Structure 1
Amino acid sequence: MSQRLISAFVAMGMLYGASIHAQQDQTATQTAPGSQVAQATPDPQAIPKPTAKDEVTVTASGEIRSEQSIGSKALLEAAPGTSPIAVLARLPSVSVTSADPYGAYEWALRISVRGFNQNQLGFTLDDVPLGDMSYGNLNGLHISRAIIDENMGRVTLSQGTGALDTASTSNLGGAIQFFSTDPLDQTHVSATQTFGSFRGHRTFARYDSGLLRTHTKFFVDGVYQLSDKWKGAGQINQKYFQINTKLVQFIGNKGVFTFYADYSDRREVDYQDLNKIWTQKLGYNWDNFGDWGKSIQAANACNGVGNYPSPVNVLAASEDPCDAGYYGGSGLRKDFLTYINYKMALTSKLTWKTTAYGHHNDGRGLWFTPYQPTLVSPTVSVSPISLRTTEYGIQRGGFLTALSYESGRHTLEGGVWFEKESFDIARRFYATSLAGPEHSLYSFPSNPFATQWAYNFPTTVYQIHLQDLYKITPSVSVSAGFKTSETNATGNLTAFNTGIPLSATIQASNYAQGSLQSGKAFLPQFGVNWKLNKSNEIFADVAENVRAYQMGGNGIASSPWGTSQAGFDALKNTLKPESSWSEEVGYRYTGARVTAQANYFHVNFSNRLLAIQQGPAIAGGASLLSNVGGVTTNGVDAAASVRIASDWTFYNAITLNKSTYDSDVTTGAGTIATSGKVTVDAPQFLYKDELSYHRKGFDAHIGADFMSKRYFTYTNDSSVDGRFLSDFGTSYHVDEAGLFSEVKLQFNIYNLANAKYYSSIGTNGFIAADPSQVANNTLQVGAPRAFTGTLSVKF
């Protein structure tokens, strides 16, 4: 650990010592086992903010930053199997896109907040870090693999600065915190069966022990989901299996111990990435071949032998028919995540919580590629196609510990996060034959004929935070704090060009190795909240954040190790991690029938990273990750929830956001004119609304979501039009129906108007310009109207 962390550790020690010395030990009030610590020493992160009918929290009264939540009821109103990320699309400044109806297909799921994409946000589950939610996640896992949807208690989004205690090295533009439900106090067995469009079915079952005499309660549940892609041929199943368990043990009347474990096995067949020309000429429903004979014919044509199969043969040579269709691809992920947590009231004013966690991941990205034939020797091939994999492995563990001390007008809080990780990534090729693919899209392949490269990245993360919330008067509170963040990563080349050599000229120097450190010793955060009266308040906050470098192998443009050794040696002493300075000021209104919030925000995003070609590619110039300037964001957003009658609620959210590049980008091939251009995948206008009705056991809602034009090139010469989506859901439940304590019927419709539109963009990254609309197949089209029906029972 570097010396710059010593001062932060000293500050932590002083906080702890001062806290112990400053007060006398007092016995917490005796409470029932089910509410011991929660009543005696409430944890502000564990207790949801009060909301009307536990739906969408438009505003969190008293907070110094913009913070909004979605409760369990609103989460369960979505069709079962819908990603919690997709549900966040209801909130202002949030844009969510996906190629499937439920936001479950990870390759195409995208979320951006105030101009920052998901790789620049922070994500946690019950305080446990989930990494940056990228497809090839190097330091975590997607939320849908970390917890079963039915076990999600609430989701809290901080659109701007994010809380200091968020365990993340990527939260430049805010943080998303997920919280699981606790086991129930009563014994219950519940089961849910869902059927839907595209041969979809989903089965969920859960057992709750209830509160036992040992002051213990737990649940265990599992889910199995299977559906077809909404388009495509051949192997088009999307399936996953998942198990969760959670145990809560009350210890005396001051402590609570929690254990959680999750196992997930997810297997997704890919949708083909598209460009506009392919969509126009091959059709909205165009996808990969899924037929081995057509795939062999296309691969031969790609290599100049014969003609392309229909309908790809309608494409001109300049319209990239070689990439228009493959046999297929898929993403396979197996994850095991667990944590233990202990919360304790040390005194009536001093509380302590500690979490230790571990995560194991084994993943594969499969692609049947026509660019590398199957070899039996360096010069002899038996098939024009091979199965290319990107193989992932994560072994990580860590802990978080924090103290909170309340005394008079002060609330002092400080904590430490430490994580140690080993991340493996490799690029391998597996054999096919003229007769068939030899490998399933649902199975982990074995016995590669070639390993192009393999890396191991040992990494350590240190983060310390300290903050004080001080009430100047009963109406005015100020907060001041900082965090220290440091990430140390080393790239070690463990293999290259093994098996049948893919190249006779490849040497170890073609691959980067070495260590990099990112982070900053002092990242401040300040905020103020002024309650004008019972219903009105204003707030303001500022914060600085930094993002750690991404790890990846040769050719992965977002990684400093994606270049040659010479390139890495050139950048390692000059490269700077991306950072941001965020400011916002807002107004809140909290009334009996209306809750509302409005914000103005300004962000300076600095040291933006981009892979730049160093000289002409034809001459062998490698791409080098480089700092290329910054981005300036200015915007306003607002949300309001109005109880228009006792049973009717109308929700509205609107966002105006403009994020632009500060300067042009100079490359070895010339200058890219990006100064003043709008950033990619950053819509400038968002509007969401929802009308909901609740009466006794009946619920219904209808909602709409509009997103304006988005650019997918840095020079803004290519874009996709705005889109308007609507959805509908209704449910009815009865209590004490015969043998059941509850019976519920639910019906959902996605894309009510059956709109056709471009959904996710940038699935294959972004490029400088694409005037012909064929230079980068990086678009996904949206799913058509989809129906789901669900029957749930509780015993």
Structure 2
Amino acid sequence: MNSTLENNQLSKLQKRILLGTSAISALLLMSACSANAEEANEELAASAQSVEIISSAAGAGQDSAEMIDEDVVIVMGKTVTFANNTTDNVMMEQESSAASVLSVIDNLPGVSIGEGAAFGSDDWSTTISMRGFNVGLSEQQIGMTIDGLPNGNSNYGGGSKANRYIDFENLSRAEVSQGTSDISSASHEALGGTINFVTNNPEDEERLRAGISMGDNNAQRYFFRYDTGDITDRTKAYLSYSRQSNDAWIGDAGYSDRDHFAAKFVSDLDEWTLTGRVSWDEAHEDNFQRISLDQFNENPDWDRLTDVITGIPYVDQAYRPSWSTLRTNYFAYLRSEYDGENVNFEFTPYYHNQKGRGDWVPQYVVNVAGGTTNFPAGVSDLHTGVGTIYGGSFDSAYSFEDSDGTPLAPNDSCTATLTFPYGGGETGDNPACYDDGANPASSYRHTHYNKERIGLTTKVEYEMSEENTLRAGAWWEHANRDESRDWHRIIDPRSSHEFDHAAYWRQYDRNFVTNTLMLYAEDTLTIENFTFNAGLRKFIVNLKRKDNFGIEEYSTVDADSKILFTAGAIYEATDDIELFAGFSQNFAAIKDSIIEGSAELSEVEGEKADNFDVGIRVRNDWLRMSITGYYIKFSNRIVGIPVGDISGIDYASQIDTVYQNVGGIESKGLEASISADLWDYWNIYSSLTVNNSEYTETVGNVEAGKKVALSPELQAVASLSYAKDGVFGGVSAKYVGERYGDFENKDRLPSHALVDLWVGYNFEMNNGFQNMKVSLNVNNLMDKRYLGGGTPGGYFIGAGRQVMGNITLDF
């Protein structure tokens, strides 16, 4: 079936029929669809190496001179037996080039993105939700891949989300498989589906691109990219660099900055195609904090972190610049693809290295019990010195000392306590309970995250006949992660949070090794208008934990899956309409984060989910729509509960998070969207998500029949966009209904509606310039205060209005 973007072929009669549809039909359409599965014809498929083809949910008919990715002009898709949706040009234009690549998928049905910081510049407060599955501080249940390769999980402690691998301008599209992931998806956390971020290819012609963005909160971003064009008749490449910074949007302190470099090449060698890519990303992010629903109602503009040093350690534990995430990520791969007459083969080795740190500010100095000052052979000497204690445990603590550094106790007669933060501390935290001359004493705590991954993916497709194709493959990865924690004295708590670089206590130092092997095979058979597929998949996962101090016991655990089944069918009812149904068993292995402390491994089991999808897709030259119904039976859900959460952090504990299986979950719902190209240069897009996720077992504070915490029950999107003669713009609104935020379903988080606005113009230039694009992006136009993601009982305030102006020049 051929697909074209020729809007002038759309008859006036067809448009009038759509516009004149009755109210009932309109509601059905608005709840019915996503245009993500347009089947490629053979001629377009043959030219796919030179034209970047995207599967899209909206905006297919835009006559846009869009400069961010000129090759993204054809809306195509793959026919699959499960719900899948892909971003398009309009969704890219809606976001500033300074935005996180995660933001582009927020309008797709079933997806909810929470970013507590402007432009996604805080990994700590970033959350993703789909069909009752979540990515955040407490859960990692959605797979994420970069050009089909695993990101190394998305958690805070040693994980990396897509924005650490890809600049916005280097993104071609994001592909979302809700609920059911493709059988070849290289992730063992894809219980709720997979998000694949696809980078764009080098340009055919030589080009230098320079861009600058400036906006609210002192936001600045510079971007440069050089495309070589055809170095030879067969090879092209690009190099890019960006620098970005912005202040915290809450209060007057805190900032984020990021440097990013990327390079990519593509070589076409007859039947072989070689693709290589490398990226480097270095970020420093000051964090935002979770608050309770009562705190939000009391003051929705403040997350309870402070802007100034008071000299009182208990108060200054909330000083924002002391809450920081520092990360450096390297990622590289080399892909070899063979396209033969009946056989296709792909082999991709990859490498990832991450080094980073998480910062916190305990309001006291620890008196350590036990431990040794002898340097252990199994640890690095990073931030240690003479007198550093290795190992041991928390004995007691003090927050004030005399001029000689001797710890002081509060006066017995004093009963006064502080009230901020976390409801106030004890008398020992209050400077009024000490005699004159007492000096504050506090700590700066570092948690170091270092990770190295090496792996490969491979697959073979064999066309036995025109009707029957076999596909098989494997994913192997060896991941080696170190995590350690050290405590440093703050030099003068009265003036700053600067610390002594030599730690006084190395609390723990551990190594985790995860070996993963995933094998799969699938058969696809076409009989007339029917296409059937069936497949098998198995994960073999082994985790090892080692105490580098040589104190705690060495442990190992196997987290293998059973054989997982997938099956599905597609019926091509007409050239424009297809019906599909699919079943998939998904699996998430126990993560190494769960065995960080001395938790009993037998108490936690791997997660699994049975996913059922059924739906209809409609697509033609001007209209794309779909509707999907789903049912998911989820067992052994693992939730990490941060110790202390919003009521204060237990800094003495070696374990910040307690993991537990919270029983089963049952999810069912509807995802739909519609995209229509009207009036030649206009596009309308709408999506609807209705989801009901409930716990099915009573475990601890989780009660059967309660709604799943932080899982949106109703979401709706409506967008109108325009593009003609270089002018483009649009407005988009997203509504998120009320949802429960805690396990007990006591917190009913309020609904919210966010409006985004964008406008721009593409200039055709002379005198050495190829093009110039000027645009303005406004996110959260009404400056709405709302609660985004978080953990059960603790929630991040969603980012306020952000205005960003952008200029891009092509030479």
Correspondence list, 1:12-51, <5 A: 47-49=53-55, 51=60
Partners in 2 of 1:281 and 1:596 — Cα distance?
Answer: 43
Shift of 1:76: 4.3
In structure 2, the residue matched to 1:408 is 466
**8 Å CA contact retained: 2:328, 2:356:** yes
Q: Deviations over 1:662-718 (max 9, x none)?
A: 02114xxxxx35110000110110001100011121111100011112222101011
| Matched letter for residue 126 of structure 1 | D
**1:329 and 2:320 matched:** no
**1:143 and 2:149 matched:** no
In structure 2, the residue matched to 1:120 is 141
In structure 2, the residue matched to 1:517 is 558
In structure 1, the residue matched to 2:105 is 88
Shift of 1:452: 1.2
Correspondence list, 1:152-551, <5 A: 152-213=171-232, 215-234=234-253, 236-251=254-269, 253-281=270-298, 284-292=301-309, 294=310, 296-297=311-312, 299=313, 302=314, 328-345=322-339, 347-373=340-366, 380=406, 383-406=440-463, 407-435=465-493, 446-473=501-528, 475-495=529-549, 508=551, 513-551=554-592
Q: Deviations over 1:394-437 (max 9, x none)?
A: 01101111111122211211111110110111121112133567
In structure 2, the residue matched to 1:604 is 633
**1:581 and 2:610 matched:** yes
Shift of 1:787: 0.9
| Matched letter for residue 92 of structure 1 | P
Number of residue pairs matched?
681
- Matched residue SS, 1:520: coil
- Matched residue SS, 2:712: coil
Shift of 1:657: 0.4
Work out which of the residue numbers 791, 796, 800 in structure 2 matches 1:780.
796
Partners in 2 of 1:695 and 1:43 — Cα distance?
Answer: 28
**1:759 and 2:788 matched:** yes
The alignment's C-alpha RMSD in Å is 3.0
Partners in 1 of 2:290 and 2:716 — Cα distance?
Answer: 27
**8 Å CA contact retained: 1:586, 1:600:** yes
**8 Å CA contact retained: 1:59, 1:596:** no
Q: 1:58 to 1:584 in 2, by over 3 A?
A: farther
Partners in 1 of 2:300 and 2:88 — Cα distance?
Answer: 40
| Matched letter for residue 493 of structure 1 | D
Q: Deviations over 1:167-203 (max 9, x none)?
A: 0010001111111111111000010011101111100
**8 Å CA contact retained: 1:530, 1:538:** yes
In structure 1, the residue matched to 2:16 is none
**8 Å CA contact retained: 2:101, 2:167:** no
Partners in 2 of 1:732 and 1:521 — Cα distance?
Answer: 54
Shift of 1:486: 1.4
**8 Å CA contact retained: 1:58, 1:595:** no
Shift of 1:458: 1.3
Partners in 1 of 2:299 and 2:799 — Cα distance?
Answer: 17
Partners in 1 of 2:45 and 2:620 — Cα distance?
Answer: 26
- Matched residue SS, 2:120: coil
Unmatched 5+ stretches in structure 2: 1-41, 63-70, 369-386, 390-394, 398-405, 408-438, 644-649
In structure 2, the residue matched to 1:315 is none
In structure 1, the residue matched to 2:34 is none
- Matched residue SS, 2:361: strand
Q: 1:357 to 1:286 in 2, by over 3 A?
A: closer
- TM-score by length of structure 1 reads 0.80
Partners in 1 of 2:144 and 2:516 — Cα distance?
Answer: 16
Shift of 1:131: 2.9
**1:639 and 2:673 matched:** yes
Shift of 1:592: 2.5
Shift of 1:103: 2.5
Q: 1:230 to 1:42 in 2, by over 3 A?
A: closer
Work out which of the residue numbers 114, 119, 125 in structure 2 matches 1:102.
119
Shift of 1:59: 9.1
**8 Å CA contact retained: 1:373, 1:384:** no
Q: Deviations over 1:367-398 (max 9, x none)?
A: 11215459889885574321112110001101
Q: 1:451 to 1:337 in 2, by over 3 A?
A: same
Q: 1:675 to 1:135 in 2, by over 3 A?
A: same
Find runs of 4+ consecutive structure 1 residues off by over 6 angstroms: 36-39, 41-46, 54-59, 374-379, 611-614, 620-624
Correspondence list, 1:605-754, <5 A: 605-610=634-639, 625-666=659-700, 672=701, 674-754=703-783
User: Relative CO higher for 1 or 2, CA cutoff 8 Å, sep ≥ 6?
Assistant: 2
Shift of 1:160: 2.0
- TM-score by length of structure 2 reads 0.79
- Identity among equivalent pairs (%): 24
**8 Å CA contact retained: 1:680, 1:714:** yes
